[in-house]
Amino acid sequence: MVNRHLTLLLILGAAPAFAQDHAKPSAPPNTAVAVKGEDGKTESFDAAALAKLPQHEVHAEAHGKAVTCSGPTLSEVLAKVGAPQGEALRGKGLSLYAKVTGRDDYRVVYSLAELDTLSHDNVPILTTHCDGKDLDDKEGPFRVIYPGEKRPARWIRQVNAIELLRAP
């Protein structure tokens, strides 16, 4: 009986260590964002490729902290895989949306119309730096900042994929 209790105690004591050793390792930071168009066309953007797109500086606030970030709009990034924008965004194009996925599998969606600068003043950007510094591993290296939203729930961090989809 004592041996059975001792064995049980040893098993229970080892369980946390076993679980820790066999836990899913965290994914390494991504060095590029995969952007997939509705037709399957895929482009990969690293920080240098994003820097070549038109840059927009935004001032935003989240959790009581103001930040200044810059980067291309999501609309400009999606245009590289065939997303309509501006005057071309009409009719069936209004059923398109972007699904943005983070390294931790967190996902958010944006309608293509809300990303368009002809329709909205405050549009989300894809950034690699805020307040003059590169984003750290917790926030980046790629992050969507959506100025003007009262809650930053769609300020997705660690972005590794963006997909253009059509609502059924």
H or E stretch including 74?
A: helix 74-79
- Write down the mean pLDDT value for the chain: 85
Q: What is the pLDDT of residue 23?
A: 40
Q: What is the pLDDT of residue 79?
A: 96
| Cα→Cα distances 30→16, 44, 81, 92, Å | 29, 11, 20, 33
9 contacts: CB under 8 Å, gap ≥ 6: none
Q: Is the pLDDT of residue 112 over 70?
A: yes
Q: What is the pLDDT of residue 17?
A: 40
State the Cα–Cα distance between residues 126 and 72, nearest whole angstrom: 6
Q: How much is the average pLDDT of 42-64?
A: 94
pTM comes to: 0.81
| Cα→Cα distances 6→1, 13, 14, 38, 145, Å | 9, 10, 12, 60, 54
- For 124-163, write each residue's pLDDT tens digit: 999 999 999 999 999 999 999 999 888 899 999 999 999 9
Q: What is the pLDDT of residue 64?
A: 86
